[in-house]
Amino acid sequence: MTIHREGYLIILISTLILGAIQVGNYFLYAWLGWLWLFLLLTLGVLVMLYLVIQFFRIPKRTVTFEENDILCPADGKVVVIEEITETEYFNDRRIQISIFMSPLNVHANYNPISGIVKYVKYHKGLFLVAWHPKSSTDNERSTVVTEHSSGKEVLYRQIAGAVARRICFYVKDKQKVTTGEEFGFIKFGSRIDVILPLDAKIDVKIGDKVKGRITKLGELN
């Protein structure tokens, strides 16, 4: 396991703040002599530091896939599988799979297919809870479209939530990408939508817990 680069500064600042709190806790104990309070606050400091560090963890995973496989772009839970009218890029009917990431999930995001990036756009927006129906269109978000070697295109969208306040993405237009490579990161709770052709084979169902780079969402036909 490694720590994502997006977490270095936040972990440093958190360590300094929590360290200062612990110093204050020590002086409070020296003044009051309440061992139970000292131990309780110390435990709270350690738990907070652990939660911050684990949020930015990147587990080591072996990526295996076939040419037409659609791999899951994020850890989380499948909360939506439905047919929609996609209006930002395709302007036609598509299948949407939405994955909700809690603050306890790994928050790195990965390319679901290999191909050439055809479209990248960042949108400012609101911070509705990630499972809100309008979060896909109204929240802060980024949209990436990759064209597979078969000519099929897949859209994937990072969506900020009520807690997530920063979306990071690293791909550029016309860039060649590979299934399972990291393309972005969302800080502190969020959602990612994958928009597929109507004839795509779907291998997951609502309620499934999925893992980025490991779980197979389906296949392009």
Identify the three-state secondary structure at position 142: strand
Identify the three-state secondary structure at position 97: strand
Reading the block at residue 141, the tokens are: 């978000």
Please state, as a whole number, how many other Cβ atoms lie within 10 Å of the Cβ of residue 126.
14
Cα dihedral 62→114→139→169 (10° resolution): 70
- The closest alpha carbon to 159, from 124, 190, 117, belongs to 190
Chain centroid offset of residue 212 CA: 9
Cα–Cα dist 76/197, whole Å: 22
Cα–Cα dist 101/130, whole Å: 9
Q: Please give the single-letter amino acid code of residue 95.
A: I
- The closest alpha carbon to 110, from 167, 164, 184, 57, belongs to 184
In the residue annotation, 190 being an active-site residue is answered as yes
- Catalytic center residues: 190
